[in-house]
Structure 1
Amino acid sequence: MTTESVRIDKWLWAARFFKTRSLATDAVDGGKVKLNGERVKPARGVKPGDRLEIDNGATEWEVVVTGLADKRGSATIAQGLYTETENSIAERQRKAEQRKLFREPGEAIKGRPTKRDRRQLDRF
């Protein structure tokens, strides 16, 4: 644990939102991470009480920083570094439910599609 603030890319990596620090840096540079509603650079420091909006490709999170770390630890330690907002939890659950109910259009087709199957897919 450190004292006052930690680089945002290090914190995202330590909190296990991204698998590598370079992925976290690229996400911050690309505008996928917002600190208190605004885009920042990877060297920007985060401190307890800051609100982060994180899009790691698979899911979107809105969290409040509760702890600081610049080294990656276990998942239980990482979960103690933030608390997720109620809106974020509800939105993630809603999207997970949509993914569960979504049926892939070509799921019924086994193997390579026949000429007839391909024509049906084109009509769809």
Structure 2
Amino acid sequence: MTEKLRIDKYLWSIRLFKTRSLATEACRAGRVKKDGTNIKPSHEVKIGEVYQVSKAIEKRTIQVVELLTTRVDAKKAVLAYADLTPPEETARFKSMFHAPVLKRDRGTGRPTKKDRREIDDLSESFFDDEED
């Protein structure tokens, strides 16, 4: 017996989206692709297919390993797909959260022109090193 499963329900069940309506909206907005073409929320999922999913600034490539009709816990959900996202893409996404936080002491006032230039140089050098 072959089971039919919609892509929006599958993306929700493997916990890529918090709600099924968010998964449906992502499909309609063109953020879910198969072989570079947009797919509709009613697209039928098959084992072995590869999808590109864009969620905010995060881009993931997944391959269907198992069909899930209901939402399961995170440990089981990870087993239902293979994450084919290139490591450099994942590292680039994670590095955005490790950017230096430039914090000034309270009561020091606004930065001077010299301070501003130093802050800009520091932040530019941090992001330039990441791309190399």
Q: Which band: TM-score by shorter chain? A: 0.7 to 0.9
Q: Structure 2 residue aligned with 1:89, among 83, 87, 90?
A: 87
Determine the structure 2 residue equivalent to 1:41: 40
1:117 partner SS = coil
Give distance in 1, aligned partners of 2:41 and 2:108: 47
Maintained 8 Å contact 1:4/1:47: no
Determine the structure 2 residue equivalent to 1:103: 100
Write the letter of the residue equivalent to 1:109.
R
Shift of 1:112: 8.2
Sort the Cα spacing of 1:44 and 1:96 in 2 relative to 1 into closer, same or farther, 3 A: same
Give distance in 2, aligned partners of 1:109 and 1:70: 51
Determine the structure 1 residue equivalent to 2:29: 30
Shift of 1:54: 0.7
> Could you list the runs of 5+ residues in structure 2 that have no partner in the other structure?
121-132
Sort the Cα spacing of 1:112 and 1:41 in 2 relative to 1 into closer, same or farther, 3 A: farther
Please say if 1:117 is aligned against 2:107: no
CA RMSD of aligned residues (A): 2.7
Question: Which one has a bigger Cα radius of gyration?
Answer: 2
Maintained 8 Å contact 1:36/1:50: no
Q: Tell me how many residue pairs correspond in the alignment.
A: 118
> Could you list the runs of 5+ residues in structure 1 that have no partner in the other structure?
none
Determine the structure 2 residue equivalent to 1:64: 63
| TM-score normalised by the chain length of structure 2 | 0.74
Give distance in 2, aligned partners of 1:24 and 1:57: 12
Larger relative CO (CA 8 A, sep 6+): 1 or 2? 1
